Amino acid sequence: MNAIILAAGFGARLRPLTDIMPKPLIPLFGSPMLAIVTANLKNAGIDQIAINTHYLSEQITAAVSHFSEADSIELFHESEILGTGGGVANAKSLLIEHGSFLIHNSDILTDFNLSAMIEEHRASGAKITMAVLDGPENRVRVTADGQIHDILDSLGRNPGGRLLTYGGVMIVSRTIFDYLPETPENFSIIRAVLDMMRDIPDAVRAHVIENCYWRDLGTLPEYFSAHADAIAGKIHLPILAECRPVWFKNGAQGVENATLNGFVVGGENCVIGANSTLTNCILLDDTMIPPDSFHNGELLGPNGFSLHRDHRQLASYKILERFKNAPYSISSLIECGSVRGFYRIKQNGKSVILMISDGMDQDYDRFVIIGRFLAENNFQTPKILAFNADEYTILVEDLGNETLYELVQRNGVQAPETERLYRMAIDELIDFQVRGLDLFRQRSAPILRTFDKSYLRWESAYFCDNFLGAYCGVSSEERSQFNATFDSLAILTATYPKVLIHRDFQSQNLLLHDGRICFVDFQGARFGSLGYDIMSLLNDPYTALPLELRMKLEHYFREQISLKMTLDSVDLEEMMIVSGLQRSLQALGAYGFLALTQGKRHYLNFIPGGFSALLTGLDRLHKLPSPPLDLSDLAYFLEALKLPQVAKINQER
């Protein structure tokens, strides 16, 4: 039996990737799809293979010449594209050699048993056997006895059965040429099949694909998913037997100096710049990644080519219509604990940040209102450039990638530069807190919430539910014994002087831009305890500052804030310790929620640091000359948990 692989199409759903290569040549672990299909056909006993070409045909011709099966392949070029039926008619000289032949789409990745389908076709006596499955476009009517009675409801036959999806593979009697144009022209093979069915009602049988792999790689999301599937061992083809999460054809330069997450798969001659981070990316041959780059969910190629996995979906947002007059690229940004999506849009050497929320995001309006007010008053926050409330999208100024977190990782916590950056952050925080307090109290300012007892008590309940309960396995009865303790902590924290607080003031939300520390993720701003943000920063487990440096920076904050506010009656150390305890509860609750409820397991890594900060805060409170609270029962209970036991409990869960 001979076969034809349909490879002439334009691959419109994969543009702009198919602007530079034809769809049949998109690589999967170094093998073009056309090579994978060809090998699968030869393994099934196919003799000769026809491949029709049109779009970027010279690339297909060059690639096929290097296939090990090249001697059994014949190319049939179409000067004008002929469609699926016209392509078959154009290859008639090869396909008519035997009683039947096989048609295989070039974008179908499957491991079902082609040999079994061929045997079934020969045994059934059917004119046509179509591979079908329960899939994305169930439009083929299949009866219980395996007959196909209609396609796309074209014949009006409804004898029962079920609707299934055509799997892109069929075996066809050479009598199909009676239903195809004698002179090749643009014609659909499905039209010819339907014409045969009108003459011979039982001409077509179904070969139902079950318990095997099948995917149409005609879109970027499907293409990316196929890589993850291959790594997971879901595709049982010899050519994909050695797939690994990090894989480059003949290796790549710079891998040892980069952070590679999820899967990173590349072709030949790839170079990855130092300190780059790549997550779930595909690299074409000859791709060079500049140093300090970040890419997530992107297809990368030579000369800066970048195509986001969700490019077509993202491009449909109305807020991006302003970019449609010139080419632009989309790349993901690290979203950390947020439920929002963040993307960098680049065009003509300039960039902006796209933020996408949904109707459940209660902070969407606050982000716009607070952000505009902060920018108007020259705070170090990104300017809001545009927003579309109907689709919950916002465009903001791009402040770059240099977070305080990244800078500390690069420089080290002991470096003098780290202390300098933290002092800069404290200076900006004090300006935000003090000047922001005055501005947001004006009648013309947006109305802000106050971080009062009820909000503070919500945080400790969050800690109880998501850290003590979900993570540590502490029963609700055991947790309830601390209700009065957390009430007292909330009441005391609420009595401290109020300022404008950011509420998530930590290293991943601070960026160095044009020599200044800038804030992002500010939609939670409100009036709250003076000590909350500074302890959020200094107890941040992402950077894990040494105790000596934390004490030094605490002292610096107390010195500087005393120059800006009258705080004679306030014990600043006490205020910072108590507010820090409150923040530690919130942080541990968040890590538990993000890891166990939202599935962001990497947040488990920060629980030891956050737990240590909480225990340290309780110890510092106890050692004050006159502790304002007695939290000894809570301290004893938490110390008894011990981190190894907590880790063991989590592992067992």
* Model pLDDT for residues 469-494, shown as the tens digit of each residue: 999 989 999 999 999 999 999 999 99
Distance between CA atoms of residues 650 and 635, nearest Å: 21
DSSP state of 497: P
Q: Which amino acid type is present at position 50?
A: A
Residue 643 pLDDT class (50, 70, 90 cuts): low
Average model confidence (pLDDT) for the chain? 91
Mean pLDDT of 133-161: 88
Global pTM?
A: 0.78
Mapping DSSP to helix (H, G, I), strand (E, B) and coil, where does residue 526 land? strand
What are the two backbone dihedrals, phi and then psi, of residue 161, each rounded to the nearest 5 degrees?
80, -150
Tokens representing residue 20 in the block = 């530079």
Say how far apart CA 401 and CA 433 lie, in whole Å: 25
* DSSP letters for 125-190: T-SEEEEEES-S---EEE-TTSBEEEETT-S----S-EEEEEEEEEEEEGGGGGGS-SS--S--HH
**If phi over 0 gives left and psi between -120 and 50 gives alpha, with beta otherwise, what is residue 127?**
alpha
What's the pLDDT score for residue 339? 61
Nearest to 511, CA basis, from 321, 420, 380: 380
pLDDT value at residue 646? 46
Give the N- to C-terminal CA distance of the chain in Å, as an integer.
55
pLDDT at residue 307 is higher than 60? yes
pLDDT tens per residue, range 615-636: 999 999 999 999 999 999 999 9
pLDDT at 214 over 90: yes
CA 545 to chain centre: 30
CA atoms within 13 A on the CB side of 217: 28
**Among the listed ranges 2-6, 171-175, 251-255, 522-526, which one has the minimum average pLDDT value?**
251-255
| Amino acid 338: pLDDT | 55
Mean pLDDT, residues 225-246 taken together: 92
What does the pLDDT read at residue 293? 85
Q: What's the pLDDT at 168? A: 94
Dig out the tokens for 368 from the structure: 């716009």
Q: Are strands 73-77 and 49-53 parallel, antiparallel or unpaired?
A: parallel
What is the C-alpha to C-alpha distance for residues 178 and 170, in angstroms, rounded to an integer? 17
Contact 266, 250 (CB under 8 A): no
| Strand, helix or coil for residue 585 | helix
